[in-house]
Structure 1
Amino acid sequence: MPADTHLAQLLLLDKFDVEAALQPDDVLEAVREAFVLHSHREGRVFPLIREKLATGGVFGIKAGDVPKQNLLGFKAAGFWPDNRAQGGEPHQATVLLIDPATGRPLCVLDGNAITTARTGAAGGIGLQLLARPNSARVCVFGSGVQARVQLTYALRLLPSLCHVSYVTFNHQRDPAFEAAFSDRCQIELATDANAAVSKSDVVITATPGGGALFDADAVQPGTHLNCVGADTRGKRELPDGVLARARVFADDREQARGIGECQWAAQVDCTEIGDLLTGNAMFDRGSADITVFDMTGLALQDLTVARFLHERAVANGTGKRLAWPW
């Protein structure tokens, strides 16, 4: 065995390391690359694992590789609602990058921060591609971590947005949520979900996916919807009838039909968002078109973001290094 195998190291990037390095422009570039790789089928997405646990949690693994880039890895993640009672985050995720030549682990990264940022960036890209460019009003369902990042990227990438209404699970104001955006837009709590949807150019659903959030006839012609919360069999945020009226897009067609909103209307035509970026598909939006981006999350998004974080940490000497001989 070569001597240098005894000097092998494993790099650990914790929450603070990852959050400090997640610059929006870098995340956007990595997520766009993931969509393009998927469209060209240069990056592979392996079969998804997503299972409910006896503890009440949901556990999943999203894995993939990009052979030409020697990129291989997975994210182990899920949702544990009881964490809230302990003051913890219900979403938990860990990313592992692996050397495809040897199978050796290269880097363990906090996956929560990566998931949050790459999902927000994906939503922003969806808005750029699908929403009406002059969209001014957005309705956000939820005020938690994912709702915040979705709105952050929406305001960044669709600067015409100026009025935000938001809907909370308890119908109460969230002063912290409002304060986070009050310097960038007009923001107010919506007391009537249907009325808020009917007045909005863009609707963002970022909830745990426990059921339909509004009535189908609240969605007006020209509306674009970014749907984040349906990521497991049985979850949904849209009511029956919306997908049948819409042009539907997804990060991955088959995954959306398995665990996303499209599981409730598998017969509906669905275009992958990466195909719009590569020109493999075309979409000339009409002013009255309703569009839906069914976002279930690609393993390739996690890997392209993790790759630039790993490379930067190696160059900068950040993170913690553990001896990992073999």
Structure 2
Amino acid sequence: MWVVPEAEIAGLMTPEAAFEAVEAVFAAMARGDARNFPVVREALGHEDALYGFKGGFDASRLTLGLKAGGYWPNNGTRGLINHQSTVFLFDPDTGRVSAAVGGNLLTALRTAAASAVSIKYLAPQGARVLGMIGAGHQSAFQMRAAVRFGSFEKVIGWNPHPEMLTRLADTATDLGLPFEAVDLPQLGAEADVIISITSAFSPLLLDAHVKGPTHIAAMGTDTKGKQELDPALVARARLFTDEVAQSVSIGEFQHAAGQKTISADDITAIGRVIIGNHPGRGDADITIFDGTGVGLQDLAVAAAVVDLAKEQGKAVEVAI
């Protein structure tokens, strides 16, 4: 078994490699070559933590495995990030474990890559203003990926705790872009692309806030009850996701689906746009991508990093 420690990931996996891996696995899903397994996600009743497993199998690349981990909201007091995970890969021919990979940075990179993929395929033409809702650890990854794969000239942002907006301001400065802290009505009116990356359980961005043409990537923590967007906003948008079943069960679209203002048939897997059998944005005023974080994304980036680690002598082989 190969082990790639968390400390090695930053020197191995680039945003470009993460983008390529995620785009490819979305396409494989749309072609029917890859499938996710049912998600297990539970509240532990200890440390307010959410813990679970996401797994799947990509037959096109012979990638089999799972990610184990979750969200520990009190980790800041221990000097740790809230999201903790490890990815395990298995030999699909024998079932033997083939790799264990630190999943924290990979999760951040693949989540940012997924929203960047959605921006590539769904953003309105000429998008120049990026709106950020949320200023937690993941927000910097989201902004960097969006700017790397988009053509933004300005970043505007909002966070429920304004003192945390320095993370967005500092990241924008690093990227050479002006940043402005705004309220949500201004953000919804001015942003061409909006990334929402929070752990909210009640809507932040309301229907009345958003003046199209706009693309929204809803990338916050997915579980039963999570909610960042007004269901009325969801109901008037053209909807996309990584996996439809997960979106209506633990993702952003669960509330509109529960209210029966949308159905699963109204949601398109983004892989269909990537492989060219869906027009994508088309004439829509507002598009929303619900990034629920499927297990195949984790496996794709983990497999890529194992190959890089072996090539560069940074993987540790352990007998089992």
TM, length-normalised to structure 1? 0.91
What percentage of aligned pairs have identical amino acids? 33
Structure 1 residue ranges without an equivalent (≥5): 1-9
The alpha-carbon deviation at position 81 of structure 1 amounts to 0.5
The aligned residue for residue 110 of structure 2 is 118
Q: Contact 1:230 / 1:259 at 8 angstroms: preserved in 2?
A: no
Aligned counterparts of 2:210 and 2:155: Cα–Cα separation in 1: 16
RMSD value, Cα: 1.5
Which residue of structure 2 aligns with residue 85 of structure 1?
A: 77
Offset of residue 176 of structure 1: 4.0
Q: Alignment partner of 2:130: what SS?
A: strand
Instruction: State the 1:27 CA deviation.
Output: 1.3
**Higher mean C-alpha displacement, 29-38 vs 262-271:** 262-271
**3-state secondary structure, aligned to 1:280:** coil
| Total equivalences in the alignment | 312
Runs of 4+ deviating beyond 6 Å: none
SS in 2 for 1:310: helix
Match of 1:255 in 2: 246
Q: What is the alpha-carbon distance in structure 2 between the residues aligned to residue 305 and residue 214 of structure 1? A: 31
Q: Does 1:221 align with 2:217?
A: no
Q: 204, 211, 221: which is aligned to 2:202?
A: 211
> Is 1:285 matched with 2:282?
yes
Distance 1:311 1:294 in 2: 29
- Whether 2:281 is the aligned partner of 1:297: answer no
Aligned to 1:7: none
Deviations, residues 274-302 of structure 1 (Å, cap 9, x unaligned)? 0001122223533x611100010121111
Does the CA-based 8 Å contact 2:157-2:180 persist in structure 1? yes
Bigger mean CA offset, 149-158 vs 181-190: 181-190
Report which of the two structures shows the higher radius of gyration computed on alpha carbons.
1
- 1:150 lines up with 2:147 in the alignment: no
Give a deviation string over 1:166-187, Cα, whole Å, max 9, x none. 1122123533431222142111
Q: Which moved more, 1:271-280 or 1:79-88?
A: 79-88
Query: Which position in structure 2 is the counterpart of 1:236?
Result: 227
1:271 is the counterpart of 2:263 = no
Judge conservation of contact 1:230–1:261 (CA < 8 Å) in 2: no
Any conservation in 2 of the 1:75–1:96 contact (CA below 8 Å)? Answer: yes
> Using the alignment, how far apart are the partners of 2:217 and 2:188 within structure 1?
13
Closer, same or farther: CA 162–114 of 1 in aligned 2, 3 Å: same
Identify the residue that residue 106 of structure 1 maps to in structure 2.
Answer: 98
Structure-2-length-normalised TM-score = 0.93
The equivalent of 1:319 in structure 2 is 315
SS at match of 1:21: coil
